[in-house]
Amino acid sequence: MDLQGSTDDLDIRILREYLSDARSSSRRVAERLNLAVGTVLSRTKKMEKSGVIKGYSAVLDQEKLGYTLTAVTEMTVSKGKLLETEKEIAQWPMVCAVYDATGLTDMFIIAKFRSREELSVFTKRLLSLPHAERTNTHVVLTTVKEDFRLL
């Protein structure tokens, strides 16, 4: 693996182990993949240093935590303030993702809420931003798949 972030098959196998259980020790990963612990440690350190691995976390069931509403909001921003507006929205705790996009709208926002009231406050807050032109919010009815862990 080079510092550009390219990965080989062995790196992918190690990453899959961490995606399966981020609490796995290097020793456990090595055992599961039939590798030397030193190999797993050095590969993992290289992937951390290059930014392929940004951190380790638990995968939570948002619905069991009370976040039963998911909204996908399209937003159009005026006066060339797209990046500034996206950076602000990305800091809000209910926001899971902000995407700068092509098409009729400038960005897509994915956010989670515990109630319709929270969604209402969020939508009004978006519209009150200085450069907000318009929003179009879609409420998710059924989540078929939601997993940002690739590989």
Lookup result for tokens 């798949």: 145
Sheet holding 107-113, edge to edge: 95-100, 107-113, 69-77, 132-139
Residue 55 located in a structural domain: no
All residues at 6 or more sequence positions from 136 whose CB lies less than 8 Å from its CB, including other chains? 73, 74, 75, 105
pLDDT at 119: 98
Element (H, E) at 70: strand 69-77
CA atoms within 13 A on the CB side of 80: 0
CATH number of the domain that residue 15 is part of: 1.10.10
Residue pair 76/133 in contact (Cβ under 8 Å)? The answer is: yes
pLDDT at 2: 41
Could you tell me where the DSSP H helices lie in the chain? Answer: 9-20, 26-33, 37-50, 82-90, 116-128
Residue 4 located in a structural domain: no
- The model carries a pTM of 0.82
Residue 146 located in a structural domain: no
Q: Give pLDDT tens digits for 35-94.
A: 999 999 999 999 999 999 999 988 888 999 999 999 999 999 998 899 999 999 999 999
